[in-house]
Structure 1
Amino acid sequence: MEFRGLMGGLYRITEWIMRLSVINLLWVLCSLPFFLLGLILLQAQTSDQVFQMFFLMCVVSPFTLFPSTTAMFSVARKWLTGEEDAPLLKTFFRGYKSNFLQSMLGGLIYIILGVILYTNYRFYGGQSNTFGILRFLVLSLSVILAISLFHFFSILSHLHMKLLQIIKNALLITIGSPIRSLSLIVLISVIVYISFFKFTFLIPFFMGSLIAIVSFWHFNLIFGKLQMKQQELLEKEAETAEADPESEKKQDGSEDEHETSTEPKALRSEETPADLRGEATSSPGNDQRESEHTKKEQP
């Protein structure tokens, strides 16, 4: 039975509260070792204890936090692409299983890059000469890396790509869309601040799912804009080919002559920054991603 009016609105609100809380609880449970170490970290009294707990969190996060976060993003993708009634448990654990390896390896790469940037920041921060200014550059790179991490989860849950392609495109999207990137990090910072310092009950029930929705919403806007630009470019190329077919034939002949001495055209086209085309399978209401997980290339 479908409710209307005030009762319908209340029903929708409670339904979404249930959805967000269920996915967030699954995220916390699948990342339980990471969060337990985080609780111990908050109770640490010495710098050595803080370092040890932080080190252990970095070790376990690629195997727990990253796969569960990708699974949570898979559910957020369903919601934001028109499949609000997708089964929560099935979608979550399917995304967890199918993306586990890439999530784990991507987590290791991001952890290593984060440690390198942190080490450089500590080194340049202790310099009193001109080199001390470089810590601001390292800090900027750290912010870019942090924002690209959320795009990494969105791309991984949305597209079929090799691991290095996902990381590359996540970085290029972050740099190529500075306004969206700033908006994303500001909103996530607000959610984290409210969750930790205002309403701590949001952490186990809503914090992660809200971050996933905000992150994928930003990515979906950027991805849609890139698709529109690509479509416009293809239409212009088609119009040019119709207007001057002779030049197209000459161009094709020229490419055939140089085929043996240069890289194949298909390979060169994959180098287009942030094109996100090669193995894109998703669109509103499209469930092709899940049906092709068994065929997905491993990194």
Structure 2
Amino acid sequence: MEPRGLMGGFYRISEWIMRLAVINLLWVVCSLPVIFILFTALFGLNPEDVETYGILPLLTLPAIVVAVLTPFLVFPATAAMFTVARKWVTGEADVPLFKTFFRGYKENYKQSMIGGILYTVLFALLVVNFFFYREEFSVISYIFLAFLVLVAASLFNFFSMLVHYHMKTFQLIKNALLITIGKPFRSLSNIIMIALVIVISWNFMKGFMFMFFTGSIIAFVSFWNFNIIYMKLQEQAEKMKQSEEEAAEEAAEMDREELVKDDYKDSNK
């Protein structure tokens, strides 16, 4: 029996802390090679080398390795994390964490990997163009920066749709982009929330929060935002269906009235 009152509140909070920490740890373990390379590259920079060569040449090789590994490791792990987040948001808080995570990992591995390859290529093209145009054509570079934000926002919708719908990978990516463009305020609010989580993780708890909470909180917030969009789309679809049914009924009623008038005219002849 779950305790009530103040103790019950502490119990529920501790339970959610445990859930978030377990799922985040599973995500970290499944993504460990990429995380290790990324953190080694960032925190192993020598200030003298940065002054001499600049930061971009020093990070080019690690970035290429991370880009190659990410679709095969990070994307499936993130899809698994979103699978659990979907259960939480839709009211199934007590699902078995390990079983749900690894089932989501297995079921969504192929699609998340293909989507990861496509997104990684898209991100790479946008980043290269951003740095290419940044020096001489700053206005164009801002356009690529805007596209980067758009694609980043659609990425979270992609994961949410991946674990919520049964669609082909290209349809998922296309619909994720369309939802991001069609719901700009919700997409922007999602990006702002994610940015706040990352800033808090980096500035206050750093490695501890990243290890235990950052990824799972981002997955929960992202699917929560997506679910709001999904519910509104469902309401709009139901209203359209209802209006179409009412229009069809009105048309049928008008046809019946016309038939009655024609019958009345024929009987008076």
Identity percentage over the alignment?
51
Q: Distance in 2 between matches of 1:121 and 1:6?
A: 52
Q: Any residues of structure 2 matched to 1:168-207 within 5 Å, and which? A: 168-200=174-206, 201-207=208-214
Q: Which amino acid aligns with 2:160?
A: S
Q: Distance in 2 between matches of 1:62 and 1:96?
A: 13
Q: TM-score by structure 2 length?
A: 0.88
Q: Distance in 2 between matches of 1:83 and 1:112?
A: 35
Q: CA deviation at 1:245?
A: 2.6
Residue in structure 2 matched with residue 216 of structure 1 by the alignment: 223
- Deviation track 1:55-104 (CA, whole Å, cap 9, x = no partner) reads 11111100110000000000000000010111101100000000000000
Equivalent position to 1:148, from 151, 154, 157? 154
Residue in structure 1 matched with residue 79 of structure 2 by the alignment: 70
Q: Distance in 2 between matches of 1:145 and 1:23?
A: 25
Q: Distance in 2 between matches of 1:158 and 1:84?
A: 16
Equivalent position to 2:115, from 99, 106, 120? 106
- Counting matched residue pairs gives 245
Q: TM-score by structure 1 length?
A: 0.80
In structure 2, stretches of 5+ residues that fail to align are 50-54, 256-269
Residue in structure 2 matched with residue 232 of structure 1 by the alignment: 239
- Deviation track 1:257-285 (CA, whole Å, cap 9, x = no partner) reads xxxxxxxxxxxxxxxxxxxxxxxxxxxxx
In structure 1, stretches of 5+ residues that fail to align are 249-299
Query: Could you list the runs of 4 or more consecutive aligned residues of structure 1 that deviate by over 2 angstroms after TM superposition?
Result: 44-49, 245-248
Equivalent position to 1:133, from 135, 139, 145? 139
Q: Distance in 1 between matches of 2:125 and 2:70?
A: 17
Residue in structure 2 matched with residue 252 of structure 1 by the alignment: none
Q: CA deviation at 1:132?
A: 3.4
Secondary structure at 1:216's aligned position in 2? helix
Please report the RMSD computed on the Cα atoms of aligned residues, expressed in angstroms.
1.4
Secondary structure at 2:174's aligned position in 1? helix
Q: Which amino acid aligns with 1:229?
A: Q
Q: Any residues of structure 2 matched to 1:7-46 within 5 Å, and which? A: 7-42=7-42, 43-45=44-46, 46=49
Q: Which amino acid aligns with 1:203?
A: F
Q: Which amino acid aligns with 1:36?
A: F
Q: Rate the CA distance shift 1:120–1:247 in 2: closer, same or farther, 3 A.
A: farther
Residue in structure 2 matched with residue 87 of structure 1 by the alignment: 96
Equivalent position to 1:244, from 245, 251, 259? 251
Greater helix content: 2
Secondary structure at 1:160's aligned position in 2? coil
Q: Which amino acid aligns with 1:105?
A: I
Q: CA deviation at 1:126?
A: 2.3
Q: CA deviation at 1:188?
A: 0.4
- Deviation track 1:181-215 (CA, whole Å, cap 9, x = no partner) reads 11111110010111112111100000000000100
Which protein shows a greater Rg? Answer: 2
| Greater mean deviation of Cα atoms: 36-45 or 186-195 | 36-45
Q: Distance in 2 between matches of 1:120 and 1:39?
A: 25
Q: Distance in 1 between matches of 2:212 and 2:193?
A: 18
